[in-house]
Amino acid sequence: MQTGEHSGYKIIAVDDEQGILDSLSIFLKRSGYDFVGITNPIDAIERVKEEHFDLMILDFIMTPIHGDQVVEEIRKFNQELYILLLTGHKDLAPPLDTIRRLDIQGYCEKSDKFDQLLLLIESGIKSIEQMNTIKRMNEELKDTNRKLEQSYLDTIQTLRYTVEAKDPYTRGHSDRVSEYSVLIGRTLDLPEEQINILRVGGLFHDIGKIGVPDSVLLKNAKLTDEEYAQIKKHPTIGAHILSTATTFQDILPIVKHHHERYDGKGYPSGLAGEDIPYLARIVAVADTFDAMTSKRPYRDALPIERVKEEFIKGMGTQLDPSITDTFLQLLDQHFSEIQEIMEKYD
């Protein structure tokens, strides 16, 4: 073995016999390891807390605490340290279940010769090298995935803006739906995770309209049955566009089902009642509100009192009655917040 072959790997040995540590120091430094020897196990625990070590050689029978107690303490804050346990005799080794529970990677009997110990150390270092390689590859993969996801998100954002840029009457629609959905979600005391899904789902709920012909999407007159069939495809198209990215998995039910009706007469799946995903039902209320309060080529925005009347008519048929009732309370009690959103993207 060549000196310096293992330079960079740090080994800490803990044994209350200084002679053992001195011998290990000579032996391991000659093999190229960075070595620290400590006689007091309590001091060793503190040293491992403060400093990185790749591998620990640990005597089992020590004072004031035994090796298994040392490992017990270390595993509370360090799960990765590779530990080899030394015993004066194999009959004095801790039980196998203790070794497994504390994730002690190996043990051997003490000897004047260090050949067996060196083999275990070299095997341990190889395992550490493999684990470090795997960790590095995982980090590189995560970084690559993050970049791919961000690139995909940027592309989808561009598509979203493209959809809304086509039609000046729907500009800001998705942003408003997103904010209305969040407002409803917070009123319903939903957890933050679901609030975030509502926020993102609202932003991208109409992304599938990128696949609807402009002649249909921008038509000012009443749509024919065939043209309406084209419009009804946009939830499915949107879900398909977003389905390949893990970033968007949580919002797919919103994108696909925000046009379902509570009475089962919606699209694309004809789901009814509580079979419609809950967050999609929230976005449906927000989407309906924005549709009624936005100016269209064929009509002006509806006044709020008329909007309330339409919501009451749609309870239990088009929209979830409980969510609708919550939103009507919002309109009565917090209309200023809703008005701010309406004007924000005007």
Report the b/e string of 63-75 with b at 16+ CB within 10 A.
eeebbbebbebbb
Please pick, among 209, 222, 265, 313, the residue that the annotation labels catalytic.
Answer: 209
The full set of domain ranges for the chain reads 10-137, 167-344
| pTM (two decimals) | 0.61
Question: What integer pLDDT is reported at residue 90 of this predicted model?
Answer: 62
- Burial class of residue 130 in the structure, from the number of CB atoms within 10 Å of its CB (0-12 exposed, 13-18 middle, 19+ buried): exposed
Instruction: Going from the first residue of the chain to its last (346 residues), give the mean pLDDT of each consecutive group of 10, the final group possibly shorter.
Output: 60 91 89 92 95 91 87 90 80 70 78 79 87 86 82 80 72 91 96 94 91 81 86 92 85 96 95 97 97 80 92 95 96 90 80
Residue in the structure block whose two tokens are 């209305």: 180
What's the pLDDT at 95?
67
Distance CA 49, CA 76 (A): 10
Q: End-to-end alpha-carbon separation of the chain, Å?
A: 75
Burial bucket for residue 282 (CB in 10 Å: 0-12, 13-18, 19+): buried
Cross-strand partners of 106:
84
Strand positions, DSSP E, the chain? 10-14, 34-38, 55-59, 82-87, 106-109
Over residues 25-58, the pLDDT tens digits come to 988 888 889 999 999 999 999 999 999 999 999 8
Burial profile 198-223: b = 16 or more Cβ within 10 angstroms, e = fewer: bebbbbbbbbbbbbbeeebbeeeeee
Q: What is the CATH number of domain 167-344?
A: 1.10.3210.10
pLDDT value of position 1? 42
Classified by CATH at the fold level, domain 10-137 comes out as Rossmann fold (3.40.50)
Identical fold between 10-137 and 167-344: no
Residue 313: active-site member: no
- The pLDDT of residue 89 is 62
Q: What is the reported pLDDT for 168? A: 64
Distance CA 206, CA 256 (A): 9
CA distances (Å), origin 179, targets 13, 33, 173, 186, 196: 59, 59, 10, 11, 11
Percent share of the chain, pLDDT over 70: 93
- CB-CB contact of 109 with 85 (8 Å): no
Give the bridge partners for 315, in sequence order. 319
Gap between the Cα atoms of 346 and 295, Å rounded: 10
